[in-house]
A and B are shown apart, each in its own frame.
Chain A
Amino acid sequence: MLHMRTISKIYRTELVETHALRELDLHVREGEFVAVTGPSGSGKTTFLNIAGLLEEFTSGEYELDGESVRGLSDDARSRLRNRKIGFIFQSFNLISDLSLFDNVDVPLRYRGMKTAERRRRIGDALERVGLASRMGHYPSELSGGQQQRAAIARALAGSPKLLLADEPTGNLDSQMARGVLELLEELHASGATIVMVTHDPELAARAQRNIHIVDGQATDVEALPRPGHGGLAATPSRI
Chain B
Amino acid sequence: MTIAPILRSLLARHKTAGSLVIVEIALTCAIVANAVFLIGERLQRIQTDSGVAERELSRVQLAGVGNQDDPHGQTREDLAALRAIPGVDSVTITNQVPFGSSSWNSSLHLDPDQSEPAAHAALYLGDADFLDTVGLRLVAGRDFRDGEFLDYHPEEGWQQMLEVDTVIITRALAERLFPGDSAVGEVLYFGEETPVRVVGVIEGLMRPTGDSADAPGHHSVLLPVRTPYTIGGSYVLRTAPSDRERVLGDATEALSRPGASRVVLEQETFEELRAEFFHADRAMGWLLLIVCGALLIVTALGIVGLASFWVQQRTRQIGVRRALGATRGQIARHFQVENLILTSAGIVLGMGLAYAINAWLMQRYELPRLSWIALPFGAVTLWALGQLSVLGPARRAAAIPPAVATRSV
Residues on A lying within 8 angstroms of B by beta carbon are 45, 48-49, 52-55, 74-75, 78-79, 81-83, 87, 89-91, 93, 95-99, 102, 105-107, 109-111, 138, 154, 158, 166
Give complex CA distance A74, B321 in Å: 14
Partner of A97, one of B13, B326, B330, B409: B13
Cβ B13 vs Cβ A96 within 8 A: yes
In this assembly, does B306 line the interface, its C-beta being within 8 Å of a C-beta of chain A?
Answer: no
Residues of B within 8 A of A106 (CB): 5, 321, 324, 326
Q: Is the interface of B mostly helix, strand, loop or mixed?
A: helix
Residues of A within 8 A of B402 (CB): 53-54, 78, 81
- What sequence of 0s and 1s flags, for each residue 1-32 of chain B, a beta carbon within 8 Å of any chain A beta carbon? 01001001100111000000000000000000
Given contacts A52-B323, A78-B326, A78-B402, 15 further A-B contacts (CB under 8 A): A53-B402, A78-B325, A81-B402, A87-B324, A89-B320, A90-B408, A91-B409, A96-B317, A97-B9, A98-B8, A102-B9, A106-B321, A110-B324, A111-B325, A158-B325
In this assembly, does B226 line the interface, its C-beta being within 8 Å of a C-beta of chain A?
Answer: no
A48, A49, A52, A93: residue with the most chain B Cβ atoms closer than 10 Å? A93
Nearest-neighbour CB distance to chain B for A182, whole angstroms, equals: 24
Give complex CA distance A53, B321 in Å: 13
Cβ B324 vs Cβ A154 within 8 A: yes
In this assembly, does B327 line the interface, its C-beta being within 8 Å of a C-beta of chain A?
Answer: yes
Give 28 A-B contacts (CB < 8 Å), ordered by A residue: A49-B403, A52-B323, A54-B323, A54-B401, A54-B403, A54-B405, A55-B401, A78-B326, A81-B402, A83-B325, A87-B324, A90-B408, A95-B320, A95-B321, A96-B317, A97-B14, A98-B8, A99-B8, A106-B321, A106-B326, A107-B324, A109-B2, A110-B325, A110-B326, A111-B325, A138-B12, A158-B325, A166-B406
Residues of B within 8 A of A154 (CB): 324
Residues of A within 8 A of B8 (CB): 98-99, 102
In this assembly, does B322 line the interface, its C-beta being within 8 Å of a C-beta of chain A?
Answer: yes
Residues of B within 8 A of A89 (CB): 320, 405-406
Question: Chain B residue with minimal CB distance to A106?
Answer: B324
In this assembly, does B316 line the interface, its C-beta being within 8 Å of a C-beta of chain A?
Answer: yes
Give complex CA distance A49, B13 in Å: 30
Question: Chain A residue with minimal CB distance to B326?
Answer: A110
Given contacts A74-B328, A81-B325, contact A93 B405 (CB under 8 A): yes
Residues of B within 8 A of A91 (CB): 409
Give complex CA distance A28, B103 in Å: 97
Residues of B within 8 A of A87 (CB): 323-324, 405
Residues of A within 8 A of B320 (CB): 89, 93, 95
Given contacts A79-B325, A95-B320, A102-B5, contact A110 B330 (CB under 8 A): yes
Given contacts A89-B406, A97-B14, contact A75 B328 (CB under 8 A): yes
Give complex CA distance A212, B324 in Å: 26
Closest 8 interchain pairs by CB?
A82-B325, A97-B9, A107-B324, A54-B403, A97-B13, A54-B402, A78-B327, A102-B5
In this assembly, does B329 line the interface, its C-beta being within 8 Å of a C-beta of chain A?
Answer: yes
Residues of A within 8 A of B12 (CB): 97, 138
Give complex CA distance A48, B323 in Å: 12
Interface size (B, Cβ < 8 Å)? 27
Residues of B within 8 A of A74 (CB): 327-328
Give complex CA distance A34, B86 in Å: 106
Given contacts A75-B329, A89-B406, A93-B316, contact A98 B324 (CB under 8 A): no
Give complex CA distance A138, B11 in Å: 13
Give complex CA distance A19, B323 in Å: 24
Give complex CA distance A165, B87 in Å: 95
Cβ B328 vs Cβ A54 within 8 A: no
Residues of B within 8 A of A93 (CB): 316, 320, 323, 405
Given contacts A49-B403, A95-B317, A97-B14, contact A81 B323 (CB under 8 A): yes
Residues of A within 8 A of B401 (CB): 54-55
Nearest-neighbour CB distance to chain A for B409, whole angstroms, equals: 6
Nearest-neighbour CB distance to chain B for A7, whole angstroms, equals: 16
Cβ A45 vs Cβ B324 within 8 A: no
Give complex CA distance A95, B12 in Å: 13
Residues of B within 8 A of A90 (CB): 408
Nearest-neighbour CB distance to chain A for B1, whole angstroms, equals: 9
Residues of A within 8 A of B323 (CB): 52, 54, 81, 87, 93
Residues of B within 8 A of A81 (CB): 323-325, 402
Nearest-neighbour CB distance to chain B for A174, whole angstroms, equals: 21
Nearest-neighbour CB distance to chain A for B124, whole angstroms, equals: 72
Residues of B within 8 A of A166 (CB): 406
Interface residues of B in 304-352 (CB under 8 A from A): 316-317, 320-330
Nearest-neighbour CB distance to chain B for A163, whole angstroms, equals: 13
Question: Chain B residue with minimal CB distance to A95?
Answer: B317
Give complex CA distance A185, B163 in Å: 113
Cβ B5 vs Cβ A105 within 8 A: yes
Given contacts A93-B320, A95-B320, A107-B324, contact A49 B406 (CB under 8 A): yes
Cβ A55 vs Cβ B327 within 8 A: no
Residues of A within 8 A of B322 (CB): 54, 78
Cβ B406 vs Cβ A98 within 8 A: no
Residues of B within 8 A of A98 (CB): 5, 8-9
Give complex CA distance A54, B405 in Å: 9
Give complex CA distance A16, B401 in Å: 22
Question: Chain A residue with minimal CB distance to B325?
Answer: A82
Give complex CA distance A109, B401 in Å: 20
Question: Chain B residue with minimal CB distance to A52?
Answer: B323
Cβ A75 vs Cβ B327 within 8 A: yes
Give complex CA distance A53, B326 in Å: 12
Question: Chain B residue with minimal CB distance to A84?
Answer: B325
Give complex CA distance A89, B328 in Å: 21
